[in-house]
Structures are given as structure tokens and as C-alpha cells.
Structure 1
Amino acid sequence: MTSTLTPDEANTVLKSPKSEIVDFTIRELQDAVAGLPRFSDIPSSEIGRASKQAALAFLGRLFLAEKRYQEASEVYLQIINYGDNIIDSEYGPLFNTQNENSSENIFSVQFVPGLAPNAMPQHAYPAASSGWHIINPLGSLAEEYGFDDGTPFSYNDPKFVQEDMGANRDQRFRDTFIWNESSFQGRRYVCHPDSTQSVDQLTYSKQATRTGFGFRKYFDESFNGNLRNDYGGNIPVIRYAEVLLSYLEAELEAGNAITQDLLDQTINRVRGRESVDLPPITETNPDVLRDILRRERRIELAFEGTRLWDIFRWEIGDEVLNGDFWGAPFPDSERYPTTSIKLDPQSRWYVTSKSFRPGIDDRWPIPESETNINPNLAD
């Protein structure tokens, strides 16, 4: 809608073609780019304001979604060429009050304690820290994080330590998850199925984890105020890391040459940040690199709102959103064989099962309440 409709018009209007909506959105974002200041020109008194780079990054997302890869590449290159943004040396502090105003965070949702608070701690903290524990990472995500020497994760690898699942792992695993016997807010986190006295015990009934994992990303663990009203940590929406990974994807899918220089400018800058320091990627075969890049996006951008749209763009919903989903492994649990709804050879906790329907579950439904008023919207 580009003008105000009368009630009669609203109740009889036809749906616009998708192409028309896409073209309109592109024009709006291009106008925003023209009218907004550069990231580097926003004064400290206006931190949080949208920049040219923010509008360009949203435009790049749209071009990627529409598989207009060359245009996406050109948009992301504009952001890179501005030179205003960085890959910060530390990953974890980007998501809490320690370093939320880093130049890596191009655009963030702004929160203010007591006025416009971020209530995520109330929802996601473990019960031992008075939270509701309702953000529980799946095992399929945890298993994507390799070891800190760059080798892929395996439960059978000697580097995997059941008693400390964060040992020898990609630093981003430790910055994103909490796991059984890890520490959160200076407290020992206990979610083992046999730990019947723990408020965070993994079951199907307690207000606790449903996967054997908890959530650390986005939290300043020194915070001790009211969980609903006093936390003011911002939530990044667009980071420079996404820009670099998206630029590489656009170049790859556009069929442009993949060089070591391109890899070093993009994916290797992301995984080479000081706190992560993983070995550089040297694979230039697009068919092999594609899987490496997609895994890197899932790890680097975990819980930042991009994963579902990546799945839709890559058309892999029938592969990754089907079947049984598992949590953390508890091979030493005496209760596991009788309490996990389904059993797994790795003794991973059963979480749920899904059945993805291509062409249905990757579409926005129009509410029946709207089609009842205007049947034209059902066509």
C-alpha cells in the first residue's frame, strides 16, 4: 500500500505481484541509502541511528533472496569500500554491553535500562539465575562448531571431552552456549538428566532446558538487576561479519572467480578474528566452498535472525527441517534409557521431530480473518 485506502477499497483490493513489491522495496532502500549518513559520520550522540551501510546491507539481503547475485555483490562491495566497519578482535563482547557499539555492529536494536529494557535475560537465563530458560540450542547447531585447530567436530574425536563440551572447541561455541558443568554468572550450571535436585535438570517437565544446552550469547554475566526491566544490552541486526560472508556468497553464486585473496578478505577475516583464530580456508572450488561457507554462516551468525532465511534461500528446508532433532549427549546417564522419548546411539537427548513441507512452510500465510473479509487475498 502506497496510499491510504477507504474501507471499501481495503475490503476489495487485489494482491500485488511479488515482483512489484520487490521493486518497490528496492527503490525504498535505495532512497534510504541516498538520504542516510555514512556509518563513520554518525556522532556519538546519535549512536543507533541507521546509516547508509545499514540500508545497503538490507538491500544486499533482498538481492540475495531474489538470487540477483551480481547486484548483491555490488551492494556489499560498496559497504566494504567505505572502510568504516571492522571485524573486531573479540566475538563474545559484541553481543553484550561490553562492546555493543563496536564498528562491527552496523545496525542494532537499541535498549535502555528501565525505559526500553531488553527482557531476553528473563526469558533465556537458566533457572538457577532466575530465568525461564526458553532459548535452548539444538544439538545439530552445537555439532557444527569444530575444534579450535580447525578440524571438524566428532563425538569420536579424542579432542571431544564429555565432561567439558567447550574444551578444545571453536571459541564461538564457548561464547554462545552453556552446557552441563559449565559456569554461568559464576554459578555451576547443572542440567544432567540424573541431577534430580537441580532446578535446571533436563526433563520434559521442569522449567529448564529441553536440549541439554543453554544460551550465553547476548548476555553480560556481571548483570545483577531485574531481569525484565534493568538490562539494556543491544541486539545486533546487521554485523560486518554478515556483510563479508554475504559478499563471498554473492561472488560464488554469481559464478565469479574465487581466489585466495577473496577468501582472505571475507571468510578468513571472520574466522581469523583474534579470539577465534581458526586456520584460513584455502578451498577455491565453488562446489566444495559452498558447504564450508554455509556452515560458517550458521556458526558465526547463530541466533541473529538469518538462519531461517538462509534455509529458504538455499532451498534446503526438506533436508534440515525434517526428521528427529536431538540435544546434548549424556552417555553416562542412568535415567536416559527410560526418560528420553527416543533413544540415540550417541545417547543424545530427544527433543522433537519435524516434517517440512516445501511450498507451504516457506510461505507467509495470509490470516483467514483477512481472507474472510476480502476473498481476493486468497487468490
Structure 2
Amino acid sequence: MKHLSYISYTLLCWLILGCQSILEKDPLAQISAVNAYITADDAKRALTAAYTPLAGNNWCCTYVGTGYMHWVLANVASDDTEKGGESGSDQLYAQQISLFNIPSDNDAIRFAWSTEYIGIRRANLVLDNIPGITMDDALKNQYLAEAKFLRAWYYINLVKTFGDVPLILTANQNVYDLERAPKQAVYDQIIKDLQEAIPVLPEASKYPAADRGRATKGAASAYLGKVYLYLNDFVKAEEWFGKVINSGEYALDPNYLGMFLRAGENSKEHIFQVQFVNDQGAQPANNQLNIVMASRARNGWGFNLPTQDFVDAFEPGDPRMAQTVYKNGDVMPDGLVANVGNSTTGYLNKKMYVPEYERIAGAIQAGRDDIYMRMGKVLLWYAEAANENGKPAVALAALNQVRARARGGAAGILPDVTVTEKVALRERIWHEQRVEFGQEYERFFELVRQGRAGKVVRAYATKYNTAKGSGFRDGVNEIFPIPQLEINLSKGKLKQNNGY
């Protein structure tokens, strides 16, 4: 009996230890941090993951995805765009922002915050782990420079949207464990990242076609110029925009609308764009904005409606008006006659129109890039900086270069601007920026940096007798509320913005 008991006990121990050893094995479907960063291929995969949140401009509904929501925060918040949709309550988050009646649980700001911090964490994972990988040193340094560019890009969106934000520079930190860093400290880090990335990043022309869309020296320089513009450092803004212009890497595309179509994705004008692919089947990596802004008469959702005020901002005969918006009866690039469905303004965004010949398997979405930085923007920001620096001749040369492209050789329209007085020229440049950048996710934040957001959006409300813009409070609505969920997770470390 004792012998049998010993055997049973031994067998039981063996079974327990054996089962325990089986149960405690590392999950085969997961990669631990220890073995995730070993080879050059691991480094490439980590960097690719850091690019992915760039494509977060798509939609807000949980059944589609999340994202930074550029179209809401920059377009709908401004005088350029009405929300659209079936009704005022359709995608309520956008209506709240349009009215500047924005609760701290607003979906757009919640997704904007989370998407950018996901991108920052992935960039930090690259910066933390790739230095220890044995691989080609030049390629390693390029990957690190790309990660610094990406971290800067995500922080640019955060700081202009929320003001002071947690500054996280390692993947070991959590956003809700830190207090908000002063806005200037965040900008200082953005500048540092971009300045360190620029000498290492390749020029756009050095990348093979398969790598189009990756960070370049020109993209980092352009964003550094934009950061200085937002800081009202016009001397440095002019310097860095000038480097992009003089690099010889970029030029204005003579086909203004064409550079927003799939055939124009390799345009010489594009400096930084987010890539989408729709060539491998039904809907891989589609740009959802194509359906978000499409006519409900063509199976779209009918959001982001250009306003009459925006249309009226174009000078008589300016071809960019018909290249930026469309209305009922317009003949579209595919030869179809436009039907804007239930658009309450009578217009839709032509830069997001998907012609029949671009559709894959009948899908209204297309694998078309989101264009965030291009030569037309750089030239007009350069003109603004030069004017502020007392160089009207330099400013006029850049401004009139953009106008010349717009008129396309047509006589009698868009004559060269000749005014040289600083304030008057500033107004002309700001006007040109509005129509040149139309519907491209700049307007609201441009108004904020120019110090006139409240004046402009309240004037819109008065002029059109609408609630849109009427709730804007100076000193409050230039930035958006910190998501209440993040405040709760931080257990009070994160403080809410004034007025929310």
C-alpha cells in the first residue's frame, strides 16, 4: 500500500508539474518584447507600424475605425464646411464641434487624442529598441530619423488641438501617468526631433517607388517651417520653407485637380502624403473619406459640405472653385453629371470625388492618398513669412507663382497681386491660402494661429443666421477639451482645459 501510495504521489506530482510546464509556456501567437526587436526585418515592421496611425483621418464610428478626425477639427469647425449627413444628430460629435458646444466626451476629440498617442508610442518603440539591433548602420539611422519625424508629426496635431499635453519620450511611459507639459516644451521637442531627423532623412528623389510616402528631408523641413510659423517665428519659418523651395525636389503641378486623383499620386507637388492601397481586392486599406464625403445620391454619406461662404471667397473665374467643389449639373472627371444628393449647401468636396474609372470592384472608396503637405502650401506660407519679415518682393513672387498656376495661362483672371503694404499684403496672402488650401484640413487651425478664429466663425453665424460658429468663446475654443476618459484614467493628474 505504501509502495502504491508513493507511486501515486509521484505520478500526481509528475502530472501537476507536467501540466504546469505546459500551461506556463509562452503564448505562441504573441511576440514578447525580448524577441520582437532582433533583425533588420523586425526594425522595418516596427517602423511600418509607427506609420499606420497616420491613416487615421477616416471616420469616427466604432464599426469603421478611429482617427485624428482632421475633416471635423479643421474643416467643420471653420467657416468653410457644414457638417452634413442625414440630420443634425447624424454623427453628433461633428455637430457639437460645429456649434462649439463640445462636451469632454466628444468622440472626435477622444479619437484624436488616442490615435496620436498610439502613433507616439509606436514611434517610441522604434526609438527605444532599434538602436540595439545589429543591422546596417545607415539604414538603422534612417529608421530612427523616420521615427523622430513621425513622433513630431503626431505631437504637432496634439499641441495645436489640445494645447499643453503629456510629453512622452519612451514607450515605458503611459499618457495617464504624466501631467501635461507646457505647450512650448512640446514644441521644443518637436523642433528637436525634426532638426535631428533632417540631416539623416533622404530626399524624396532618393526613395524607390515602393517607398513613396515615407518621411523625407523635404517633409521634415516643411513641417519645421510650419511649426515656426505657428510660433510666429517668421524668420525661421521663411528659412525652412525656403530650403524646401530651393531643394529642387518639388514643383507646382499644372493639373490642380489631377494631383488629388489616383493618377496624380506621384505628383511633383506632393511633399508628404498618407498612403492607401486598394489594388488587392474588395476593400484593403481604403481611404474612407471618399465615402464619407461622397453624395448620398451615389451611395455616399454626404458629410463635409462646402459652404456658400467658402465658394464666394473665390475670385471671379478662378478655376480652383470648380476644381474644389461641385454642384448639381456639373460634369465630373468621369463624364457623369453630378448629383449632390441632400447637401444642404448645394455643394460637395470635389477633391474627394471618386470617378468611375478609379473604383475597384464597384467600391466608392479608393486607395487614394491623403495629401497633407504640398508645394502650394509651402509657397503661400513662405510668402506670409517673407511679408512679415519686411520682404514684400519675395512674398509677391511666391504668391503670384501660385496664382499663375491657378489661372493656367487664361488671360483676364487672377491677375498678379502688386500691393506691397504689409497689412494689405497679409490679407491677400491669407485669402489666397483659404482658396488654395480649400477643404484640405487647414482652415480652423490657420484662423487660430492668425488670432482671428472667434471673429471669423461668429461673423459667419451672424451673416447666415445660423448657430454654426455662434458659440465660439475667445480664450476657450481655440483648443478642444481633454477627453474626460483620459482625465479619469490619470486619476486627476490631467487637468481640463479652461472653459470645458
TM-score relative to the length of structure 1: 0.77
- Aligned mates of 2:235, 2:325 — CA distance in 1: 36
Alignment partner, residue 64 of structure 1: 229
1:358 aligns with 2:474: yes
Candidates 337, 342, 351, aligned match of 1:188: 337
| Equivalent position SS for 2:494 | helix
Matched-pair contact (CA < 8 Å) for 1:136–1:213: yes
Matched-pair contact (CA < 8 Å) for 1:48–1:108: yes
1:85 aligns with 2:221: no
- Aligned mates of 1:245, 1:320 — CA distance in 2: 20
Task: Extract unaligned runs of 5+ from structure 2.
Answer: 1-167
Candidates 183, 193, 208, aligned match of 1:43: 208
- Aligned mates of 2:473, 2:247 — CA distance in 1: 42
Q: Which amino acid aligns with 2:323?
A: D
| Equivalent position SS for 1:358 | coil
Matched-pair contact (CA < 8 Å) for 1:100–1:233: yes
- Aligned mates of 1:352, 1:11 — CA distance in 2: 33
Alignment partner, residue 236 of structure 1: 371
- Aligned mates of 2:370, 2:487 — CA distance in 1: 35
Candidates 277, 280, 301, aligned match of 1:112: 277
Change (3 A) 1:139 1:276: farther
Alignment partner, residue 348 of structure 2: 214
- Specify which structure has the higher proportion of strand: 1
- Any idea what the Cα deviations from partners look like across 1:109-166, whole Å, max 9, x if unmatched? 1110032111222222212322121121011110111112xxxxxxxxxxxxxxxxxx
Please say which structure displays the higher CA radius of gyration: 2
- Aligned mates of 1:101, 1:175 — CA distance in 2: 19
Matched-pair contact (CA < 8 Å) for 1:69–1:250: yes
Alignment partner, residue 404 of structure 2: 272
181-190 vs 78-87, greater mean Cα deviation: 181-190
- Any idea what the Cα deviations from partners look like across 1:29-87, whole Å, max 9, x if unmatched? 11121221012222223222211010111111111111111111111111112111101
| Equivalent position SS for 1:48 | coil
Q: Give the CA deviation at 1:364.
A: 3.5
- Aligned mates of 1:69, 1:92 — CA distance in 2: 30
1:302 aligns with 2:438: yes
Alignment partner, residue 141 of structure 2: none
- Aligned mates of 2:246, 2:234 — CA distance in 1: 18
Change (3 A) 1:288 1:323: closer
Matched-pair contact (CA < 8 Å) for 2:349–2:439: no
Matched-pair contact (CA < 8 Å) for 2:290–2:365: no
- Aligned mates of 2:264, 2:234 — CA distance in 1: 32
Candidates 143, 157, 179, aligned match of 2:327: 179
Alignment partner, residue 252 of structure 1: 387
Identity %: 28
1:3 aligns with 2:152: no
Change (3 A) 1:81 1:130: same
Q: Give the CA deviation at 1:26.
A: 0.4
Candidates 288, 295, 310, aligned match of 1:141: 310
- Any idea what the Cα deviations from partners look like across 1:250-294, whole Å, max 9, x if unmatched? 11223x2211x5422x11111101654432111111111111100
Matched-pair contact (CA < 8 Å) for 2:249–2:268: yes
- Specify which structure has the higher proportion of helix: 2
Matched-pair contact (CA < 8 Å) for 2:204–2:217: yes
Q: Which amino acid aligns with 2:337?
A: R
| Equivalent position SS for 1:236 | strand
Alignment partner, residue 130 of structure 2: none
Matched-pair contact (CA < 8 Å) for 2:271–2:373: yes
Q: Which amino acid aligns with 2:307?
A: L
- Aligned mates of 1:5, 1:45 — CA distance in 2: 32
| Equivalent position SS for 1:238 | strand
Q: Give the CA deviation at 1:190.
A: 4.8
Matched-pair contact (CA < 8 Å) for 2:277–2:285: yes
- Any idea what the Cα deviations from partners look like across 1:214-272, whole Å, max 9, x if unmatched? 12113342334457575111121100111111111111223x2211x5422x1111110
- Aligned mates of 2:365, 2:493 — CA distance in 1: 46
Change (3 A) 1:325 1:188: farther
- Aligned mates of 1:302, 1:181 — CA distance in 2: 21
Task: Extract unaligned runs of 5+ from structure 1.
Answer: 149-169, 192-199, 201-207, 327-343
Query: Which segments of structure 1 move beyond 6 Å, counting only runs of 4 or more?
Result: 348-351
Matched-pair contact (CA < 8 Å) for 1:318–1:358: yes
1:263 aligns with 2:396: yes
Alignment partner, residue 19 of structure 1: 184
Change (3 A) 1:227 1:375: farther
- Aligned mates of 1:104, 1:246 — CA distance in 2: 15
Q: Which amino acid aligns with 1:211?
A: T
1:367 aligns with 2:489: no
Change (3 A) 1:11 1:288: closer
Candidates 166, 186, 196, aligned match of 1:31: 196
Candidates 53, 74, 79, aligned match of 2:239: 74
| Equivalent position SS for 1:376 | coil
Change (3 A) 1:375 1:90: same
Matched-pair contact (CA < 8 Å) for 1:105–1:240: yes
Alignment partner, residue 8 of structure 2: none
- Aligned mates of 1:282, 1:294 — CA distance in 2: 15
